Structure 1
């Protein structure tokens, strides 16, 4: 995801860098086409437009080039360069160049502070998230995480994977809000997931353990808003990898990609997010699906589907995945994210994605159950 962000930022900066020379050319052309035209206002903006995107040296250089251009244009019109209007124009050029130099330093300092804040926030977020293995018997896995461009706070996206004798258990979730409070919920959920993944006998028990911990954390924190919650999807892939169970707690539905087709795995019975379980019944709805060889299960947080283009349209991850893709979770995620960054200029929320592919020709351990038909 970082590669797409860098390409997008590079394109925006490249476009902005063309503005100072374009203004300079416009001033020269205007003076040549219409001699009475006063070019000094245009020339005075050259250094100012350079300040946000150029270095200090090039900002001052752009002001010097504009000043030299003004002198040459003034000399072309009249051999008497030192006139009152020209002196005022040259003084304005020099003054704005000095101002642009100060602005350049301010912009550079602000950019560096913002870059450092984002790097620290993303480093902390990555440190909280566990390392996901690239392969387990019969399966390949891949993850992607990207902090929002406009935010420097620690986000609440999380994912984790744990291979157990009962199957590969996974979770992806999104904590409401940002900052230290969301970080506490992330750590709580990751801790209870890894402990319960080994101890609980089935997927509903794992979900219930997570619900209890979120409720307990909210009860112990006096300033925790009642509406704090965590949307999450829990998945358990059977030991023989033929099928998987899924419990969706108010999270965007995952996608099953296979043979050029994409199936949206909407839950049969909607469930409230974690932290709001006291408002619902005690039963944890669980759906069951086949996982054919070569199929890829894609899970993601709402930062992806809530990304908007310039018209306000939301991103739809289904079309970029409805085509010939290799049975490789990294390639599937890259295809989705490449389309995402073609769709939007900036992410308003953190995004996390987790994909798992059943490898053709490889089998997991023998399980207690065999595959079942995918529920339409």
Structure 2
């Protein structure tokens, strides 16, 4: 009202309606549009331009823009509803394909974390599973080759084979071979060029019950971390082996490694989204080095620390999925371990 009469503010009133469309509800957008039309009309009256047809054409433009803003608001609302529906379906598929493992099995306490490379994605090519079997608590963590729906398809095949074989195969090596046979059958049904692309790096672990023995079979997967009394070390395989699904390329003997796993010890398993994360200088992330000397109050705190540290290391430029699984042995009754790391509240 204080600007010169030759200054036209219609564009600002129109901009208010357009800005309200993606930010406010339908009611809010309508109110902003009505307020813009009313304010522009008041200025026309106060400026003595009631007989100026050009000024009224500007008011019509403001009113038309307000109507278009309401239409845009409804269009964005419908797209948002569809996106929420798709996201909900994806979350349901994730829970069905990759269910959260139980928090406790006997003397083992378990926690898992999955971080997709794309913020809108719910599931990728990483996988994990934990089952209580007659042969002990068996767990699997792996990373299938590829991305997208084809990777998810292979994930379901691997998890199904592990779920079935974990209760049937008496040895961990036999379980790995059972999953391998399933992957080879799956590869045989694909085109010739895709057959050698159906493979999975995997780490299988078996916790004896009763006892304090941990058995591992590593098929081309990053070595897990053994955490005990504030120390961190990688459990490298005694002999490297090909990933699951690549048996036709070699006939090397797959070793079974046994590790002493006392009360209070933790085993941290992860996929290569952690170990292959690189900073701006191209340096790989080293979880053993970064976790040495740290103290964590709980398993969830440990997983959150690793994920946050990876994001900080790479500057939030995530290019691969991350799956993490941690298992801690407690006393027979589930009491806190006596030999845990010296934390105020050890997990």
TM bracket (short chain): 0.7 to 0.9
Does residue 291 in structure 1 map to residue 268 in structure 2? no
Query: Which stretch of the first structure deviates more once superposed, 241-250 or 262-271?
Result: 262-271
Superposition deviation, residue 96 in structure 1: 2.0
Confirm whether residue 323 of structure 1 aligns to residue 264 of structure 2. Answer: no
TM-score by length of 2: 0.75
Instruction: Summarize the Cα distance change of 1:116–1:288 in structure 2 as closer, same or farther, 3 Å threshold.
Output: same
Among 179, 186, 206, the alignment partner of 1:236 is: 206
Q: CA deviation at 1:214?
A: 0.4
Take 1:44 and 1:310, find their aligned partners in 2: how far apart are those partners? Answer: 44
Alpha-carbon contact 1:296-1:329 (below 8 Å) kept: no
Say whether 1:218 aligns with 2:187: yes
Counterparts of 2:210 and 2:156, CA distance in 1: 31
Say yes or no: does 1:96 pair with 2:76. Answer: no
- Please give the alpha-carbon distance, in whole angstroms, between the structure 2 residues aligned to 1:90 and 1:66: 9
Paired with 2:211 and 2:139, the residues of 1 have a C-alpha distance of 14
CA distance in 1 between partners of 2:42 and 2:185 (Å): 76
Residues 52-201 of structure 1 mapped to structure 2, 5 A cutoff: 52-71=22-41, 78-80=47-49, 83=52, 86-130=55-99, 132-145=101-114, 148-151=118-121, 155-177=124-146, 181-201=150-170
The answer as to whether partners of 1:260 and 1:325 remain within 8 angstroms in 2 is: no
Whole-Å Cα distance in 1 between the matches of residues 317 and 34 of structure 2? 35
Instruction: Report the Cα offset of residue 188 of structure 1.
Output: 2.8
2:14 to 9, 27, 44: 44
| Larger displacement relative to structure 2 (227-236 or 34-43) | 34-43
Structure 1: runs of 5+ lacking an equivalent: 1-30, 365-376
* SS at structure 1 position matched to 2:29: helix
CA distance in 2, matches of 1:276, 1:196: 19
Distance 2:329 2:101 in 1: 16
Q: Residue deviations 1:127-174, cap 9 Å, x none?
A: 23356332222211123446653347x644332222345432110223
Output one character per residue of 1:343-374: Cα deviation in whole Å (capped at 9) or x when no partner.
87797766543221111x4389xxxxxxxxxx
Report the 3-state secondary structure (helix = DSSP H, G, I; strand = E; otherwise coil) of the residue aligned with 1:158. strand
Report Cα offsets for 1:35-92 as digits up to 9, x if no partner.
Answer: 976543343222222222322221222233334444556667x343664554343333
Deviation, structure 1 residue 339: 5.8
The alignment yields a C-alpha RMSD, in angstroms, of 4.1
Deviates more, 1:105-114 or 1:317-326: 317-326
Q: How many matched pairs?
A: 330
Counterpart position of 2:324: 353
TM-score (norm 1): 0.70
SS for the counterpart of 2:96 is helix
Change (3 A) 1:203 1:95: same
Matches within 5 A, 1:332-351: 332-337=302-307, 351=322
- Structure 1 residues 311, 52: CA separation in 2 closer, same or farther (over 3 Å shift)? farther
Return 118-127 or 60-69, whichever deviates more: 60-69
